[in-house]
Amino acid sequence: MVVCCGEALIDMLPRAATSGEEAFAPFAGGAVFNTAIALARLGEPTAFVTGLSTDLFGARLEATLEASGVDHSRCVRSARPTTLAFVTLTDGQAQYAFYDENTAGRMFAVEDMPAAPEAGRPHFFGGISLVSEPCGSAYEALMAQVAPGALTMIDPNIRPGFITDEAAYRARIGRMTAMADIVKLSDEDLHWLEGPGEIAPLARGLLARGAKLVCITEGAKGARAFWGEETAFVAATPVTVVDTVGAGDTFNAGVLAGLAQRGRLTKAALERLTTEDVSHALSLGVRAAAVTVSRAGANPPRLDELA
């Protein structure tokens, strides 16, 4: 079972109203929520840890978790509101404005979890929860608790417009990427974190700081991976893009599910990665993400929708 830890929110997506005025429609989202849903729909046993509101949107998020078969028994319920993300689209490319003041997700605390963390299970972290406080500190502490005994993966999913204390955020992502066995970054995230330059040496810098596998996504081009002295590339699946919401999140689930299918989702097994393992994982990530970009909101695919 993979444990996904981070934000569940509502993406408000622009819709042309019949009157011609602007309107927004709610879709279940949050980077880590999307990864959890995608993993379960790809057939991997999945648990989700977050601060979940009991409001109308929280109930909708919980219903989506339930319908997708995600174990949500460790979510912290509260009457605080659900975090909202207002999305603008330019040629399908999403930009986000987040509203997380005093929300159930932002106020998440490890000590409020109804059951103890699942030590020993693979854990996934990321998203805007690593920017805000107090949840950022809570997820970092949870990662520090599980990382010595369990495989961990991080996708910081960097949203520069949302970061207020850049020095503190850079320090946190530096500590968490050094703790993680698998680091995923988009090419834009890689340059925001590591500066300008060729992708390969920047990715290898992350390997030198402790990661065993680094995945770099390049939008419509596809995705690359770096491990040991090796590298692999899988081209994106060409599709008609509706919106890119959840592309990277679904890709992450494909990578985790692909590694699990090859028996590589433990710290020890990750040391013995082969090109076939990584190509299988990248290819599942790329194919699943292509379905996500081809429909509205994140809404990741089930395994039987990949054909």
Ligand X SMILES: O=C(O)C(=O)C[C@H](O)[C@H](O)CO
Ligand Y SMILES: Nc1ncnc2c1ncn2[C@@H]1O[C@H](COP(=O)(O)OP(=O)(O)OP(=O)(O)O)[C@@H](O)[C@H]1O
Instruction: Supply the minimum distance, in Å, between the C-beta of residue 44 and ligand Y.
Output: 18
Nearest Cα residue to 2 out of 255, 189, 283, 234: 255
Identity of the residue, 2 or 245, whose beta carbon is nearer to ligand X in the bound complex? 245
165's tokens: 């204390």
Among 10, 193, 206, 247, binds ligand Y (CB under 6 A): 247
- Burial code (b: 16+ CB inside 10 Å, e: under 16) for 20-59 equals eeeeeeebbbbbbbbbbbbbbbbebebbbbbbbbebebbe
- Which residue type, as a one-letter code, is found at position 82? T
Specify the 3-state DSSP secondary structure of 71: strand
Instruction: Supply the minimum distance, in Å, between the C-beta of residue 189 and ligand Y.
Output: 7
For residue 210, the Cα-to-chain-centroid distance in whole angstroms is 20
Q: What is the DSSP letter of 20?
A: S
Alpha-carbon radius of gyration of the chain: 18
Instruction: Give yes or no for residue 251 binding ligand Y (CB under 6 A).
Output: yes
Among 113, 219, 231, 262, binds ligand Y (CB under 6 A): 219
Per CB under 6 A, which region of 10-18, 101-109, 264-272, 286-294 contacts ligand Y? 286-294
Instruction: Supply the minimum distance, in Å, between the C-beta of residue 296 and ligand X.
Output: 12
Per CB under 6 A, which region of 57-65, 81-89, 146-154, 213-221 contacts ligand Y? 213-221
Per CB under 6 A, which region of 48-56, 175-183, 197-205, 236-244 contacts ligand Y? 236-244
What residue ranges bind ligand Y (CB under 6 A)? 94, 157, 186, 217-220, 222-223, 236-237, 239, 241, 244, 246-249, 251, 286, 289-290, 293
